[in-house]
Amino acid sequence: MSIDQSGFDTAAASYDEQFSHTNIGQFQRERVWQYLDKTFSKAWPQTVLELNCGTGIDALHFSSRGSRVLATDLSQEMLKETQAKLLHSNAADSVTLTQLDLADPQLPNAECHHLIFSNFGGINCINVTQLRKLAEFCFHCLHPGGHCIFVVMPQNTLFDRWYRFAQGQSEVYKQRAEKHQLEVSLGDATVSTYYHNASDIINTFEQFEFVDAFTVGLLPSYLESSRFLKVYQGIERFLLPILKSTKYSDHFLIHLKK
Ligand SMILES: C[S@@+](CC[C@H](N)C(=O)[O-])C[C@H]1O[C@@H](n2cnc3c(N)ncnc32)[C@H](O)[C@@H]1O
């Protein structure tokens, strides 16, 4: 059964302002794009199935590098935001939009892709049972040797733990760490969020080969408005090169191969 994620419809119009255009959002997306550049320096993926495309920033990026993109999201309002960006770009011919629910993934045709990509927590919108179903779907939708690259929020994260503790909200943090699920506010809306560690993804996508995992960023986006943002960024820049585990991340990237 699908999960009610209508909060993303409410959040769609302000999503770029609240996340994509912030210092924290831009820093994290840049690190994801750097990884894509490094990984596909010899051969950029010809076709990309993008899950939870949101407002379409990554779809346009893939298109600008020459991919054909099938950009999908559950939220019609997010898809409208992507459509609006496409109208003002040269990408309209290379990006197709369609609704796809990660909780019950289905596509009208059985086309295979070279990369399945999910950025910034779409995978956190489904529970472990639904994640298993998604793994099967991804396996069927990829060419042999095709890639899955997902950016995900783990159960345990350094700055969220510290911040919740400082705010006297340790209970919230415990719920995230122990039950793996929280109702999280997104602008004026609330969305159900399920936290998955890299090991959960590896175990669930057992038919895939593990390629890489690393921390994309340490700062939750709610710290953007903090007057100590520069200090936090300094700590993040210091820690990122030395942290070997993804478990302290705000978002980590995981790369799997069929
Ligand atoms: C945090 S946003 C990330 C958007 C985009 N990938 C980006 O990089 O900015 C999460 C996205 O997941 C979508 N989403 C939530 N639940 C979903 C589901 N069950 N199936 C597909 N997309 C879903 C939301 O509509 C939203 O666009």
Ligand 1: which atom is nearest the Cα of residue 2?
19
CATH architecture of residue range(s) 7-41+48-257? 3-Layer(aba) Sandwich (3.40)
Greater pLDDT, 171 or 10: 10
Greater pLDDT, 192 or 50: 50
Q: How many other CB atoms are found less than 10 A from the CB of residue 180? A: 18
DSSP-derived secondary structure letter, 110: -
Which residue ranges make up each domain of the chain?
Answer: 7-41+48-257
Say what percent of the chain tops pLDDT 70: 98
The per-residue pLDDT for 164 is: 83
Tell me the pLDDT tens digit for each residue of 176-226: 777 778 888 877 778 889 999 999 999 999 999 999 999 999 999 999 999
Identify the bridge partners of residue 251 per DSSP, sorted by sequence position: 217
Report CA-CA distances (Å) from 212 to 37, 46, 70, 114: 15, 21, 24, 17
Q: How far is the CA of 128 from the centre of ligand 1 (A)?
A: 17
Q: How far is the CA of 52 from the centre of ligand 1 (A)?
A: 4
Q: What's the CA gap between 99 and 107, in Å, rounded? A: 9
Q: Which of 8, 48, 52, 195 most suits a substitution to test ligand 1, by most atoms within 8 Å of the C-beta? A: 52
Q: Confirm if 32 and 213 have CB atoms less than 8 A apart.
A: no
Q: How far is the CA of 90 from the centre of ligand 1 (A)?
A: 24
From the DSSP assignment, how many helices (H) and strands (E) are in the chain? 9, 9
Position 252 pLDDT exceeds 90: yes
Tell me the pLDDT tens digit for each residue of 135-185: 999 999 999 999 999 999 999 888 988 888 888 888 877 777 777 788 888
Residue nearest to atom 9 of ligand 1 (CA): 54
Average pLDDT, stretch 114-126?
Answer: 97
Say what percent of the chain tops pLDDT 90: 81
Residue nearest to atom 8 of ligand 1 (CA): 119
Q: For the chain, what is the mean pLDDT?
A: 93
